[in-house]
Each structure stands twice: as C-alpha cells, then as structure tokens.
Structure 1
Amino acid sequence: MSLSIAFSGKGGTGKTTLAGLLVRYMIKRGKKPILAVDADSNYNLNEVLGVDVDETLGGVRERMKKGNVPNGMTKDRFMSMQLEQAIVEADDFDLVVMGQPEGQGCYCAANTLLSDFLGKLTANYECVVMDNEAGMEHISRLTTKNIDTLLVVSDPSRRGLQAAQRIKELAQSLNIGVKDIYLVLNNLQQEPSPEVMEIVEQAGLNLLGTVYADSTLAEYDMAGRPTAELPEDNPVVQRAFAMFEQIVPE
C-alpha cells in the first residue's frame, strides 16, 4: 500500500516549496519509488525540484481532442504512449505535470484514459506527493488512490485561514477518501497570535506545524535555484522535516 500526501492552498502560501521538501524528505528516508504530481494549473513544482518539463498530461489530452493520431495506431494506444512519455524521470523521483484542467466541450474518452492512466501510474509508487491548487480541479481524478493526508497551507491572516477552511470542507465533500487533514501555517514572522489560534480552532483546523519566513529561501527563489536543495540546517527544512516525521510512517 503506497502513501499519498497532498498539498493544497491558495497561491503564494508556499505549498509548492513544502511539497518539494516532502519529496526530499521521502528520498532521505529511503521511501522509493516516489511520484511527484503537480496538479496546479500554474505549475512550478518542477522548478522547486530542479527538473525541466516538456509536456503536461493536459497537453496530451488537448491534442487527442484534435484527433492528431498517426495512421495505424488507435487513439487509446497513442494517448497512452504520449502520457507515458510525459513522465519526467529524475535520479530519485518521477514527476508528472497535469497542466490546465479541461475546458468547454469535454472529450470524455480522453479524460477517461487520463484518469485510468493516473490510477495505474500511482499504484506503481510507494509514495505519491501531490501539489494542488485551492480548487483541487485535478485531484478528483485520483479516485482510485485515496489520499492519506491533505496538508492545507495558509499564511496567518484571517482571509488565508478562511480559505483554508473552505479547502478542508471541499476536500471532505469530494469522493477522494481523505483520511487526515492538517493545517500548516507558513511564512510566519512571529509566533501565531491568540487571535490566529482562535480562528484555527473555530474553523476546526488541526494545526500540524508552523514554518517561518526565511531570507535564504527568498534568495533561492529570486535566483531561480531549486528550493528543495536548501541546506540541511536551514530552519525551513528543519521545521518542515519535523512536521513530516509526524505523518510519514516508519
């Protein structure tokens, strides 16, 4: 049985950085093989992990809508081949990028193939790490893989925490079998205030941990360096790893 951990949160909360650090943590713990899934339409998990992406699964689906299939090959076989080629194979993990969700005029056959592909793909990995946008448009495709843990990432603002509450409620309403949902407070400048903690409690959010803003992380980001490669003694890495120890079984 593989372990699936998903991140969600509105843009700018740092969820993608934390998702990248979880991949690094899994590698350190020897939890292989690892599949990273970028299910944010504004994808950049590959930049955090330091790998290039040439193709997205959504891009393959859109080409199938146009019927661009070579002679002598069925649509199903051609799409399966294209989806397999979209997997980015790094030294210690694999990555797939979902890309844009389907727009108007849903091509159901292509979406069914995409869903089947994801179900079979994730079954081949011991650990699956997913980076999702707040609406989680893609995550409902993974109905064949229950989500063990959903980490909702938020800043310590009232608006951010209200968004986190909505994400939690949305996840509970989707048929994705989420077992545990935790809140991560990120980009803190100081300890969470009593007012913040009161909002967290009233929203029914289970706080897993806190991560503070860090100048080295900001420098990596501005320089375009993979933030998953932050030094081991960096406070962000240490606090993130301490959280992951609580949710990743031995």
Structure 2
Amino acid sequence: MTRTIAMAGKGGTGKTSLACLIVRYLVKRGGAPLLAVDADPAANFGLGMAIEVNQTIGSVLAEFNANKGLIPPGLSKDAYLNIKFNNAIAESQGVDLITMGRGEGAGCYCFPNNVLKSFIDNLMPNYKYMVMDNEAGLEHLSRGTTQHIDDLVMVSNHSIKGVRTLNTVLQLVRELGLDIKRKWVVINQAPVRVDPLVNAELARLGISPDIVVPLENLILDYDLQQRSLLEMPEDSSAVSAIDEFMKKLLS
C-alpha cells in the first residue's frame, strides 16, 4: 500500500525545500518510483527538484471547463480527462510529478475533480510513496483529492507567525475531519539555539516539535544555481536533520 506523506505550512517556511529533501531520502533508499504531488498554488515543488512542468491539472480543468466539456468523438468524459491528466505528469528519474496549479476560470469543477480523485487513487498502487506539498489551507486535502494521509508534516520557520500557522493547520485538520494517521511538527530554518520567545509560543499553544532543522545556506545556493535539492550532499546539516526525522517517521 502506498505511504502518503503530506506537507503543510505557511509560505516562506521552507516547506517545499523540506518536501524535496524528504523525496531525496526516500528515493536514495529504494523508495522509487515515487509520486510527488504539488498542491500548492505557488507550484515550486518541481522547481526544487529541477523537474520541468509543462502542464498542470489546473490548466487541464480550465480547458475542459472553457470548452464546456466537449470531447473528441469516441471518448467518454472520464477517459478524455484521464488522458489529459496522464499527459500532465512530469517524469524524472525515480520521481513522477503532478502539479495541481491554480484553479483557473469560472464554473463548476465538481465532475472533473471527482475524475481527478479517481485518477490519483488509481495511480497510487504504482508507487511506494506519495509526497504531497500543500498550502496552509489544505484545499486539496479538504476536497478529498486523496483517500487518506498517513503522515501530515506541518512546517514552521523560526517565527511566531509560523508557529501560529501550525496551530491554524491543526485546527483545520480537526474541523475538516481529515483521515490522518500521524501528525508531525517541524521547526525549520532555526539558528543554533531556538529563541525563547518561539519556545514560549510553542508551549502556550501546546505544540511540541518533533525535529528542529537548522538554517542551511546551501539550500539557497542550490536555488540560485537552479540545481535539484535531490542532489544535496550527505554532509548538509538540513539533509542530516531530515534523514533523522525520516527514520523516526518510517519506524
């Protein structure tokens, strides 16, 4: 059965970079083929892994809606959308990426979203792992795009706002009644010592981090050079922290 790992957190926390390092860990340890799903409208998951994205699910749905559901002769709507969704998969060594993109255009997406859910459900048995990068609002999870989540990894940077967003995500999970087996809290981009004010806010909200990932300038260097974070070296402090976290998550 596919192990599903979903990321959540506010923009600027380094959430997507950590998602890339999680993919790195899994692929290097026999987790390929792996399905990566970029469900954040910012759509940076592919950029972080240097995977070129030519089409998104959002653009497929927008085209379908703009054409008022018209399809070529001899195809059902389900079959047509499944072909288009398959064409939107960006393939790389060990990783297949689906980018949701933005919800473009007006109109009802109820039917195509149901087809998308069925499409992903049918894809998942082909993969050992699925890693999904979400926005803080968990839009695609709330739509039921995936049946269940094994691990929700909630990421905050070393800030009060980031920590409070963690609390908002936890509240959303409860309100939406999402099927999530385990929840994890990661403090990212931390200095050598976590500031007492950040610790105090965590304590006030009753949040206990599972791991603290140190600030890693090499991630910025890779971004500037447009290099894949999947190629980060083993001696990177962020890589080491995520590797230790993943051992805990998979144990």
Q: CA deviation at 1:144?
A: 4.8
In the other structure, the counterpart of 1:212 is 214
Q: Does 1:117 align with 2:119?
A: yes
In the other structure, the counterpart of 2:168 is 166
Aligned residues: 249
Structure 1 residues 163, 2: CA separation in 2 closer, same or farther (over 3 Å shift)?
Answer: same
In the other structure, the counterpart of 2:42 is 42
Q: CA deviation at 1:131?
A: 0.4
Q: CA deviation at 1:185?
A: 0.7
Q: Percent identity, aligned pairs only?
A: 37
Q: Secondary structure at the match of 1:148?
A: strand
Following the alignment from structure 2 to structure 1, what is the Cα–Cα distance between the partners of residues 124 and 100? 13
Which residue of 58, 63, 74 corresponds with 1:72? 74
TM-score under structure 2 length normalisation: 0.92
**Structure 1 contact 64–75 (Cα < 8 Å) conserved:** no
Q: CA deviation at 1:103?
A: 5.8
Cα offsets for 1:160-193 (capped at 9, x unmatched): 1111110111123224311221211111123113
Following the alignment from structure 1 to structure 2, what is the Cα–Cα distance between the partners of residues 89 and 191? 40
In the other structure, the counterpart of 1:152 is 154
Following the alignment from structure 1 to structure 2, what is the Cα–Cα distance between the partners of residues 125 and 12? 29
Q: Secondary structure at the match of 1:168?
A: helix
Q: 1:210 is aligned with what amino acid? A: V
Following the alignment from structure 2 to structure 1, what is the Cα–Cα distance between the partners of residues 98 and 46? 9
Following the alignment from structure 1 to structure 2, what is the Cα–Cα distance between the partners of residues 190 and 16? 22
Q: CA deviation at 1:120?
A: 1.8
Q: Secondary structure at the match of 2:234?
A: coil
TM-score under structure 1 length normalisation: 0.93
Structure 1 residues 204, 120: CA separation in 2 closer, same or farther (over 3 Å shift)?
Answer: farther
**Structure 1 contact 182–205 (Cα < 8 Å) conserved:** no
Following the alignment from structure 1 to structure 2, what is the Cα–Cα distance between the partners of residues 90 and 219? 22
Q: 2:78 is aligned with what amino acid? A: D
Structure 1 residues 206, 2: CA separation in 2 closer, same or farther (over 3 Å shift)?
Answer: farther
1:87-102 matches, within 5 Å, as: 87-101=89-103
Structure 1 residues 120, 175: CA separation in 2 closer, same or farther (over 3 Å shift)?
Answer: farther
In the other structure, the counterpart of 1:190 is 192
Q: CA deviation at 1:201?
A: 2.6
Q: CA deviation at 1:205?
A: 2.1
Cα offsets for 1:67-110 (capped at 9, x unmatched): 25223333222111101111122121211111113664223211
In the other structure, the counterpart of 1:25 is 25
Cα offsets for 1:115-162 (capped at 9, x unmatched): 211222223321110100111111234465311111111112212111
Cα offsets for 1:212-248 (capped at 9, x unmatched): 1122222111222222311111111111111111102
Structure 1 residues 44, 139: CA separation in 2 closer, same or farther (over 3 Å shift)?
Answer: same
**Structure 1 contact 122–145 (Cα < 8 Å) conserved:** no
**Structure 1 contact 39–139 (Cα < 8 Å) conserved:** no
Q: 1:13 is aligned with what amino acid? A: T
**Structure 1 contact 76–113 (Cα < 8 Å) conserved:** yes
Identify unmatched segments of 5+ residues in structure 2.
none
Task: Give the alignment's Cα RMSD to 1 decimal.
Answer: 1.7
1:128-139 matches, within 5 Å, as: 128-139=130-141
**Structure 1 contact 6–147 (Cα < 8 Å) conserved:** yes
Moved more, 47-56 or 173-182: 173-182
**Structure 2 contact 6–153 (Cα < 8 Å) conserved:** yes
Following the alignment from structure 1 to structure 2, what is the Cα–Cα distance between the partners of residues 123 and 171? 25
